[in-house]
């Protein structure tokens, strides 16, 4: 049996929920569907060897690491510990409830690497659209800018004062 094919064909749309611009799949549903297809699948939450805590902390923040193994194939995912806005929480402000939620979300993402709900994450890691270039802006030659217009153009195109002067 091709586990990835089987899992990727399961429609999870009815079990997702939207929070802001993000779609979430319940860890309990993901785990239940995984076990229906592969009853011997296992999950592993990695612990920091120095602290024995289920997360890894650094100056950059706190991250969790979860592996899901199916038929000897482990897929590992990492996820920063985040707040309700999906912003990374500074390590000195992280609590164990934050870590627990990150572990559950990371579990779902590791399961997705095996196919279940993978389509939910399509586009999540796409590069940002390129910024409009100054040449595309057709603003060259504008001579009667107000201070507000000058500032708006400077901000939009991340221009220095000297670059603004060259546009006139």
Cα separation, 61 vs 93, in Å, equals: 10
Q: Residue 86, Cα to own-chain centre: how many angstroms?
A: 8
Q: Give the per-residue pLDDT at 122.
A: 81
Cα→Cα distances 68→7, 102, 165, Å: 14, 15, 57
Residues 6+ apart with CB under 8 A from 100: none
pLDDT at residue 157 tops 80: no
Q: Would you report the helix, strand and coil content of the chain in percent, each value rounded to 5?
A: 40, 20, 40
Length of the chain: 168
Pick the more confident residue, 36 or 131.
Answer: 36
Write the secondary structure of 50-105 as one string of H (helix), E (strand) and C (coil): CCCCCCEEECCEEEEEEEEEECCEEEEEEEECECCCCCECCHHHCCHHHHHHHHHH
Cα separation, 112 vs 30, in Å, equals: 9
Where do the CATH 3.30.390.80 domains begin and end in the chain?
Answer: 3-121
pLDDT band, residue 142 (cuts 50/70/90): low
**HSE-up (13 A, CA, CB side) for residue 166:** 7
The answer to which of 37-41, 125-129, 162-166 has the lowest mean pLDDT is 125-129
Q: Give the per-residue pLDDT at 85.
A: 83
pLDDT tens digits along 9-24: 999 988 998 887 788 8
pLDDT at residue 137 tops 60: no
pLDDT tens digits along 45-73: 999 999 999 999 998 899 999 999 999 99
Q: Give the per-residue pLDDT at 138.
A: 45
pLDDT tens digits along 91-123: 999 999 999 999 999 999 999 999 999 988 886
Q: Give the per-residue pLDDT at 84.
A: 82
Instruction: Tell me the pairing of strands 42-45 and 22-25.
Output: unpaired
Sign, Cα dihedral of 51, 52, 53, 58: positive
pLDDT at residue 164 tops 80: no
The per-residue pLDDT of the chain, averaged, comes to 83
Name the CATH superfamily, with its identifier, for domain 3-121. Answer: DNA repair protein Rad52/59/22 (3.30.390.80)
Q: Give the per-residue pLDDT at 80.
A: 97
């Amino acid at each position: 049996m091709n586990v990835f094919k089987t899992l990727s064909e399961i429609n999870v749309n009815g079990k997702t929920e939207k929070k802001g611009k993000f779609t979430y799949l319940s860890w309990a549903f993901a785990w239940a569907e995984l076990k229906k297809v592969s009853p011997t699948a296992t999950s592993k939450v990695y612990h920091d060897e120095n602290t024995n805590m289920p997360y890894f902390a650094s100056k950059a923040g706190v991250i969790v690491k979860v592996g899901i193994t199916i038929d000897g194939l482990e897929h590992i995912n990492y996820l920063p510990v985040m707040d309700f806005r999906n912003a990374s929480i500074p390590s000195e402000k992280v609590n164990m409830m934050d870590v627990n939620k990150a572990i559950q979300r990371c579990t779902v993402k590791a399961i997705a690497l095996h196919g279940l709900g993978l389509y939910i994450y399509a586009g999540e890691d796409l590069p940002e659209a390129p910024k409009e270039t100054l040449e595309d802006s057709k603003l060259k030659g504008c001579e009667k800018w107000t201070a507000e217009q000058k500032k708006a153009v400077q901000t939009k195109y991340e221009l220095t004062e000297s670059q603004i002067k060259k546009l006139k």
